[in-house]
Structure 1
Amino acid sequence: MTHSWSPEQYLRYEDERARPFLELTARIHADAPRRVVDLGAGPGTLTSLLAERWPDAEVTAVDSSPEMIERARGIAGISAVRADLRCWEPSAPVDVLVSNAALQWVDDHLTLLPRLVGMLAPGGWLAMQVPGNFEEPSHRIRRDLAAQEPFAQHVRDVTVPSSHDAATYLRTLQGLGLETDAWETTYLHVLHGEDPVFEWVSGTGARPTLQALPADLRAAFEQEYRDRLRTAYPDSGHGVVLPFRRVFAVGRRPR
């Protein structure tokens, strides 16, 4: 089932979404890479940071969303390619390959990692980050609602994200010959505004479910989802706290 992405909705919490990217790429110790690729780059705003860090590199943003790639094409210093990360191929070996908050959308993405590692030049770096919060209320509530009629018949085939723990990525990348560092972090994002957790998830994990529903059912689903999220994530008077676990791995191919 296809769905579309909104750069504007995604970037509503741009600072919070940028933090894992910055901490991921800080562990990449490449001095002067020639080819840098951001797989699943979204609107390209974070890809631009790679171009700033390595101004002499050829930096490419890859994403399957036409809306996201259209936005990325307006960013100086990078080239943007619309392609599915599951089948995209570089024209030459890559020195730095980044995938930030994208692989969770690929079913059984562990089987994709050998192909990604195979893209690396000798001494090249692979850096990946995926959400690890799929048992949190924000996801459990969506799943519970989506399993109920009249919603279930419309969303049973919808794409849902998933990921593994850091140890699994560590063992997998080590098994592929990379010198690997893997870790997990839980951020406590303090969000403000009306129903901020709903606004957060409607730009990412819940978006395919919401778009799969007919307009009349979507309104009912959204209202119930908002109500339950408000109960699960109360505002203490200092904002709404959204715990968000992220899983990271950075590996380097030996020369």
Structure 2
Amino acid sequence: MTWNPDQYHLFREARSAPVRDLHALIPDQAYASVIDLGCGTGEHTLTLARRYPQAQVTGLDQSAEMLERAQAQQAPNLHFLQGDLSQLTGQYDLIHANASLQWVPDHPTLLTHLWTHLNPGGVLAAQVPANHDHPSHRLLTDTALDFQDELGGDARFGTAHGASPVLSPARYAELLDALGGTDITALSKIYPVVLNGSDGLIDWTKGTALVPYLSRLDEPGQQRFLAAYRKRLHAAYPGERVYYAFTRTLFTARRPA
């Protein structure tokens, strides 16, 4: 997938609000090694490096475009690596994931894998978007079904018929408990965003949810896909103002020492 940092940052403040809440849930303790999974352009990784100056902090992301921008984030204890979070190696005192785990299928297996890379006494802290049932995402899936030949059957969650891997807060809590986690917090919160009609929804989803689709299409195909998606959105949201109930699931847990 090809990510556009500028498009993603059109809604920088709205996208940053959930991670600030996530950071408030992270216990203050001594962390020697911290990894930020799917760090993007690295602003929040830098926040972690400044909050825990005694720790070695690593930002991990698959996107070369995002990591190129991340190099502007500088701290003595901070560095960035290109890699796949689902193939995580090494051991860490804090595993942090801000709006990244939703790109990986099978969260029970994923959490089990991440847990094995968490040191005793360490903390796993993550937040994921939970808007997969919102019309903006359902209409996106409907559009992908019309383009499945051009998409090669692929879509955001593996196939044009794929379902989101994101689970309920209760299910994340149950999984973390089954792994032996303690001090578990799991919650859902809405971060409302007011957008400029259906075009505003296009701008929002172009930063994230649209990326896997547009990355698989040539320029004419992208324009046709966007036109078809825009037509569906405009029918659902004909007005000039859209109240977008941006929903996030946040969870943290500690691995016993």
Q: TM-score, normalised by structure 2?
A: 0.90
Give the structure 2 partner of residue 166 of structure 1: 169
Determine if contact 1:121/1:253 at 8 Å carries over to the other structure. Answer: yes
Give the structure 2 partner of residue 186 of structure 1: 190
State the identity %. 38
Determine if contact 1:233/1:241 at 8 Å carries over to the other structure. Answer: no
The separation in 2 between residues aligned to 1:243 and 1:203, in whole angstroms, is 17
The separation in 1 between residues aligned to 2:239 and 2:50, in whole angstroms, is 37
- When structure 1 is superposed on structure 2, of 69-78 and 199-208 the one drifting more is 69-78
Give the structure 1 partner of residue 161 of structure 2: none
Deviation of 1:72 after TM superposition, in Å, equals: 1.4
**Structure 1 residue 129 corresponds to structure 2 residue 127:** yes
Deviation of 1:21 after TM superposition, in Å, equals: 0.7
The equivalences for 1:135-154 within 5 A come to 135-148=133-146, 151-154=147-150
Q: CA, structure 1 residues 117+30, in 2 after alignment: closer, same or farther (shift >3 Å)?
A: farther
Aligned residues: CA RMSD: 1.7
Q: Give runs of ≥4 in structure 1 deviating > 6 Å.
A: none
Give the structure 2 partner of residue 88 of structure 1: 88
Deviation of 1:112 after TM superposition, in Å, equals: 1.6
Give the structure 2 partner of residue 248 of structure 1: 250
Deviation of 1:48 after TM superposition, in Å, equals: 1.2
> Residue by residue, what CA displacement relative to the aligned partner does 1:56-76 show, whole Å, maximum 9, x if unpaired?
221110011111111112211
- When structure 1 is superposed on structure 2, of 180-189 and 155-164 the one drifting more is 155-164
For structure 1, the 5+ residue unaligned runs are none
SS at 1:212's partner residue?
Answer: coil
Q: CA, structure 1 residues 58+235, in 2 after alignment: closer, same or farther (shift >3 Å)?
A: farther
The separation in 1 between residues aligned to 2:13 and 2:197, in whole angstroms, is 15
The separation in 1 between residues aligned to 2:243 and 2:238, in whole angstroms, is 8
Determine if contact 1:101/1:131 at 8 Å carries over to the other structure. Answer: yes
Determine if contact 1:158/1:212 at 8 Å carries over to the other structure. Answer: no
What is the aligned counterpart of 2:114 among 100, 116, 120? Answer: 116
Deviation of 1:194 after TM superposition, in Å, equals: 8.1
Deviation of 1:235 after TM superposition, in Å, equals: 4.8
Q: CA, structure 1 residues 46+232, in 2 after alignment: closer, same or farther (shift >3 Å)?
A: farther
The separation in 2 between residues aligned to 1:122 and 1:139, in whole angstroms, is 38
Deviation of 1:193 after TM superposition, in Å, equals: 8.4
Give the structure 2 partner of residue 33 of structure 1: 31
The separation in 2 between residues aligned to 1:28 and 1:48, in whole angstroms, is 16
The separation in 1 between residues aligned to 2:92 and 2:127, in whole angstroms, is 18
The separation in 1 between residues aligned to 2:107 and 2:14, in whole angstroms, is 25
For structure 2, the 5+ residue unaligned runs are 158-163
Deviation of 1:232 after TM superposition, in Å, equals: 2.9
> Residue by residue, what CA displacement relative to the aligned partner does 1:166-197 show, whole Å, maximum 9, x if unpaired?
11110001100111111111221123588121
Q: CA, structure 1 residues 25+51, in 2 after alignment: closer, same or farther (shift >3 Å)?
A: same
Deviation of 1:234 after TM superposition, in Å, equals: 5.1
Determine if contact 1:126/1:250 at 8 Å carries over to the other structure. Answer: yes
Determine if contact 1:28/1:127 at 8 Å carries over to the other structure. Answer: yes
